[in-house]
Structure formats: C-alpha cells, structure tokens
C-alpha cells in the first residue's frame, strides 16, 4: 500500500544588512535584551546564550575593530560593515513539552554545527557575535558577520550577492540535513512557506476549516461478477479482485493520511498560537504594570515639580521683599538673615580650604592664589599691599582678608611667612653653585 511521505521541516537562513551605527546599536540592544522585547518571555531569558561576544559589546565597535585590523584603504561612506545572519528551522523541528515549549538546545550539536558553519563560511575572525535566543516561540540564532572577502576586502556586495545567497541557502540546508532539515524550493517566489504552513490555520476561511474537519468520503467496495471462464479457474478471479481491493484501500489510506496531515498542521498551528498568546498575555500584563508604574512616577514627578515651583516662587518673593526692606532701611526678617549667614559660612569654609591647600612655597604675590580660587568659583581682588577680597561668583558672598583664617590663622600673616620661605629657598639655590665653584678653584 502506498503511503504519503511526511514533509521534512525546513532549515531557515535570513540575512539583514546593518548599514549604520544606529542599526547596529538596535541589534545589540535587541539581541542582549537591553530593551523591551514584546514577543520574548522574560521567564525564559536564562536560556539565552552568547557564544562569542561574552562582554556583550556594541556590534558596530566590534566590526570597526575588525576592519581596522586589516588596515584597509579609505572606505566608502556607504560601505556595509555588518550583516546579521538569522539561523533557525521550522517550529516543528524542535522537540516540545506538553505545553508546547521548545526544549533547551544550548548543549546540542545543532547549535555547535551552526557556529562551525558560519565560522567556516565567513572566516572565524569575521564572525563577531553568535547569540542563541530561546525566550521566544522558536529557538533561533543571530550571527553577526563582517563581510570580508577571501582576498581581504570589505565587500557586502561580493560576500552576500544574489548568487552567493542562493548557494548559502543550499549549503546551509546540506549542513543541517543530519538534523532532519531540508532546503526550501530553489528560485521559489514563495516566502516563508513553512511559516504559512504552520500558522496559516489562523488565516483559513471557515469554509476551508470545514473542509479540513470533514470526514473522508468512503464508498462500499463492490466485487465484480464472476466471469464464465473464471468458474473454471476461480483463483484468477480471487487475484483480480484482491488487486482491485488493494487499490481501493490504498486510495482510502492516502486520502486519510492527507486529511491527518492537514489536521496535524492545524493542531500544530493552534498549539503554537496558544503558546504565543500566553507570551503576549504576559508581555501585556508586564507592559500594563510598567504603564501604571510610569504614570505613578510621572504623577510623583509632577507633584515634586509643582512643589519646587512653589518653593522657587516663594523664595523669589522673599528675596524681593528683603531687597525692598534693605532699600527702606528696614530690618531683614531673621529667617532670611539666618539663611544668608548659613550660606555665607559655607562659602567661607570652602574658600579657606582652597587657600590652605595652596599656601605653601613657592609663593611670590597674592595674585598667585587667584587661579585655584577661580576653579572653585571665587574671584580674588587685590586692592592694596595688605588688602584683598574674595567673592563667590554665584551668590555674591564676599570676604575681606581679616575674615579669612585658613589653617586657623590669619591669611595675610601666613602669606608673609610663605613669601619669606620662598625667598630664602631662592637665595639658597643661588648660593649653592657659587660654593661649588669656590671648592673647585681650591
């Protein structure tokens, strides 16, 4: 009896050019789950694995480093530096549990042979990333390839030309044949036939589904009448009718198998779609929770901004009132005076800390202290040999020499000592060479 040979699942390979740093960055963030991936289940994220780029560096930087190693002449501005190669198979190629979830493939020969294939095909040093995803419905691999030709040129046009892409599909299917996978139809205009075959049940019309669900039509088998000459040789009659019966049964079995294949495709599609629906439901719940949290954060931020605005307005009003009181020779409210004294004390402490750090030889004049003070936001103004002021640029706190006591001592007193030490050191250095010359003359 003739039986219908089951269709083998397909080996699937797709390519995508990453022409800009932005596209490469998006691929990096997607592959390493650095951004929200709606069709990925975070509970399965632990099953993802990177085999080459363990530090998860940006793909564009890795590609640029590889190209720099070749010391190529000036590249064209539109040169494609990176190509993403997607490697997977039809959904039914992966064993699944009772819930429809694909089994872990991290330690299987399928993953290792995919890695061996791309490294041998494009050059081991040109494959800069190899990421396995198992947090989606079907396991798949993202291989990142720098398109370097055999003679050391950067040329996506040559490495991934239409002819080489067709051959790549053929060679990849041959490499995956040991895993029960086959190539799609060569030069076919159909796109992703395996996807349509397994998910197409969701797109079927009611009439088509009804046709699939209808039972196989059967008809009773009728024996032919016995021929006159077969009465003498009845064995010939038995053989003839047995052949007719076998043909009838074979046709019935073929029709039954075809019907079962259609039902299996619908069942497989429904199972995978239910699993996809579960993932999307989880993603939707997560997104809704994120939305609620974001709205709460926005509400809190808005409230904080409103309070800050109210505080700023109130502070500005108090400042205007303080200025008007000052112009009218009225006393400033104690609360504002205390605030001003506190801020001025902080500014004084910082200025004294800067001075203490720089009051050391060599020091020749007061203006030598201007640069370090300016770095911290203070302006030094020297008005006489023993007169100076230091002013905070932002809020205007101003301090005289008498107020400044770095290291707990008056500023000008320490300044005179440091200048004296500087002069003494200079005289000592000047005297040392003359002493050596005198010793040499003796």
What letters, b where the CB count within 10 A reaches 16 and e where it falls short, cover 287-313?
Answer: eeeeeeeeeeeeeeeeeeeeeeeeeee
Residue 121 CA from chain centroid, whole number: 26
Q: Could you tell me how many residues make up the chain? A: 442
Alpha carbon separation from 427 to 335, 359, 387, 415 (Å, rounded)? 55, 20, 28, 19
Residue 169 · residue 13 · CB < 8 Å: yes
Q: Is the pTM of this model over 0.75?
A: no
Strand order of the β-sheet with 378-384 is 378-384, 387-392, 398-400
Q: Which residues of the chain have pLDDT under 70?
A: 1-7, 185-221, 226-227, 229-233, 237, 252-253, 257-295, 298, 301-302, 315, 318-319, 385, 432-442
Give the alpha-carbon dihedral of 122, 126, 131, 136, to 10 degrees.
-50
**pLDDT attached to residue 7:** 67
Domain chopping of the chain, boundaries: 11-188, 190-332, 340-441
Token duo for residue 369: 């202290």
- The CATH number that domain 11-188 falls under is 3.30.930.30
Give the residue among 388, 412, 414, 385 at the shortest CA–CA distance from 399. Answer: 388
**pLDDT attached to residue 151:** 93
Task: Give the span between the Cα atoms of 96 and 121, in whole angstroms.
Answer: 30
**pLDDT attached to residue 54:** 94
Task: Give the span between the Cα atoms of 433 and 426, in whole angstroms.
Answer: 12
Residue 416 · residue 401 · CB < 8 Å: no
């Amino acid at each position: 009896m003739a039986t219908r040979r089951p269709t083998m699942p397909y080996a699937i390979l797709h390519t995508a050019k990453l022409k800009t740093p932005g596209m490469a960055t998006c691929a990096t963030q997607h592959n390493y789950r650095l951004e929200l991936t709606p069709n990925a289940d975070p509970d399965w994220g632990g099953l993802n694995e990177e085999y080459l780029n363990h530090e998860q560096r940006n793909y564009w930087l890795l590609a640029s480093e590889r190209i720099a190693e070749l010391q190529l002449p000036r590249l064209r501005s539109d040169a494609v530096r990176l190509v993403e190669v997607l490697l997977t198979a039809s959904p039914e190629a992966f064993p699944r549990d009772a819930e429809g979830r694909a089994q872990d493939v991290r330690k299987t020969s399928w993953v290792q042979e995919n890695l061996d294939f791309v490294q041998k095909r494009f050059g081991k040093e040109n494959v800069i990333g190899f990421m396995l995803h198992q947090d989606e419905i079907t396991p798949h691999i993202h291989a990142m390839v720098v398109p370097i030709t055999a003679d050391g040129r950067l040329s996506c046009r040559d490495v991934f030309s239409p002819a080489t892409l067709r051959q790549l599909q053929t060679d990849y299917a041959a490499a995956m044949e040991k895993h029960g996978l086959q190539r799609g139809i060569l030069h076919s205009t159909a796109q992703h036939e395996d996807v349509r075959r397994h998910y197409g049940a969701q797109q079927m019309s009611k009439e088509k589904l009804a046709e699939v669900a209808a039972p196989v039509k059967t008809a009773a088998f009728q024996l032919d009448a016995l021929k006159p000459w077969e009465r003498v040789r009845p064995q010939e009659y038995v053989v003839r009718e047995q052949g007719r019966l076998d043909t009838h049964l074979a046709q019935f079995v073929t029709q039954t198998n075809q019907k079962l294949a259609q039902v299996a495709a619908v069942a497989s599609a429904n199972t995978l779609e239910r699993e996809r629906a579960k993932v999307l439901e989880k993603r939707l719940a997560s997104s809704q929770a994120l939305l609620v949290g974001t709205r709460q954060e926005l509400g809190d931020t808005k409230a904080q901004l409103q309070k800050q605005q109210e505080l700023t307005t109130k502070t500005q009003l108090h400042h205007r009132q303080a200025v008007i009181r000052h112009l009218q020779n009225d006393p400033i409210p104690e609360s504002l005076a205390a605030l001003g004294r506190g801020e001025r004390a902080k500014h004084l402490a910082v200025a004294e800390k800067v001075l203490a750090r720089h009051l050391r030889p060599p020091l020749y004049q007061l203006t030598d202290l201007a640069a370090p003070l300016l770095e911290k936001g203070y302006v030094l103004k020297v008005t006489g040999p023993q007169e100076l002021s230091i002013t905070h640029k932002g809020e205007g706190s101003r301090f005289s020499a008498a107020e400044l006591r770095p290291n707990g001592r008056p500023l000008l007193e320490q300044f005179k000592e440091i200048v004296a030490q500087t002069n003494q050191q200079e005289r000592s250095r000047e005297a040392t060479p003359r002493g050596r010359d005198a010793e040499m003359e003796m």
